[in-house]
Amino acid sequence: MASVITGPLRRGARSRPAPRVSGRRRDAAPTRVLRGVFRALPAALVLILVLAAVTWGWEQLRNPLVFPVRQVRVTGTFHYLSPDRLKTALARAVSGSFFTVNVKAIQNAADAVPWVRRATVWRVWPATLVIHVVEQTPFARWGDDGVITPQGVVFFPGVPTALPGLARLDGPPDSGEVVLDHYHRMTNLLATVGLQVAGVTLDARRAWQIDLADGIVLRLGRKNTMRRLGRFVRAYPIALAKRAQQVSVVDLRYTNGFAVRWKAPGGRPATTTQGS
């Protein structure tokens, strides 16, 4: 426990009285505080007013009644896509004011519309949205109601679309690029003997079939597809070209040779096997 030791005052020493504070000095301190407060008030008020103005301005920018999107303009070259149909599909995505409308959401919604390959969206002052669309280019029909592009992209328009003169390709889901690649290779090979391809099909078992423009069906199976087709191309000018109109089906799923189903006069097919 600490103790305090005090010594006696020296003789003759006097204690100093506490300094006196005049009334003026006591009143000066509160005055200075008030004066500082009053000096700070204008700056604080200005800051409050600025914040209020910014908040009000932002609310006005967000208000679709003050800055509405009055027009949606669709541009591009269209052969299959209807601009009115595109506008209808984007109606839900176009929400908010001119400044707050979600351009990215509109672009994503446009990209999801069949026949749209790529969409770009931007604002035009004071109240217009411009949507520029690059339309898909059809390369062939896909199945009964689909379309495949030159890039192997398969999509389904949802409405009947006339595509006269295009080949018919078909295959399992996600096989568009594979089928398209085989179509090109098969078409080039068959063209050497003057045959045109009307369709190529890859079935669920991964077996290939070619439909020629003259009605002949080529069944290639699952293995050695191009080798079997090459065998047919070599034999066609010699064995089949002169009787092509009578050929119904050529079955190439043999190790050496192929089987031919002929169009019989009575409508019943007859089969002949041709060796290699």
Strands 247-251, 197-202: parallel, antiparallel or unpaired by DSSP? unpaired
* Rounded mean pLDDT, 5-34: 52
pLDDT at residue 11 tops 70? no
Residue 128 has what pLDDT?
93
Residue 24 has what pLDDT?
52
pLDDT at residue 57 tops 80? no
Strands 146-148, 154-155: parallel, antiparallel or unpaired by DSSP? antiparallel
**Tens digit of pLDDT for each residue in 189-231?**
999 999 999 999 999 999 999 999 999 999 999 999 999 999 9
Do 99 and 62 contact (CB within 8 A), yes or no?
A: yes
- Print the SS3 string covering 237-264: HHHHHHHHHHEEEEECCCCCCEEEEECC
pLDDT at residue 1 tops 50? no
Superfamily of domain 140-274: Cell division protein FtsQ/DivIB (3.40.50.11690)
pLDDT at residue 245 tops 80? yes
- With cut-offs at 50, 70 and 90, classify the pLDDT of residue 162: confident
User: What is the C-alpha to C-alpha distance for residues 239 and 259, in angstroms, rounded to an integer?
Assistant: 12
List, in order, residues 6 or more apart from 252 with CB less than 8 Å away: 218, 219, 220, 221, 228, 229, 231, 232, 258
Residue 63 has what pLDDT?
44
**Tens digit of pLDDT for each residue in 105-148?**
999 999 999 999 999 999 999 999 999 999 999 999 999 999 99
Q: What is the reported pTM? A: 0.73
- With cut-offs at 50, 70 and 90, classify the pLDDT of residue 6: very low
Residue 36 has what pLDDT?
59
User: What is the C-alpha to C-alpha distance for residues 208 and 182, in angstroms, rounded to an integer?
Assistant: 9
pLDDT at residue 181 tops 70? yes
Residue 7 has what pLDDT?
47
pLDDT at residue 236 tops 70? yes
Q: Where are the domains of the chain?
A: 71-135, 140-274
Do 150 and 139 contact (CB within 8 A), yes or no?
A: yes
Do 214 and 263 contact (CB within 8 A), yes or no?
A: no
CATH T-level assignment (fold) for domain 71-135 = Ubiquitin-like (UB roll) (3.10.20)
Residue 3 has what pLDDT?
43
Weakest mean pLDDT among 32-46, 106-120, 171-185: 32-46
User: What is the C-alpha to C-alpha distance for residues 268 and 220, in angstroms, rounded to an integer?
Assistant: 23
3-class secondary structure, 193 = coil
What percent of the chain shows pLDDT beyond 70?
Answer: 72
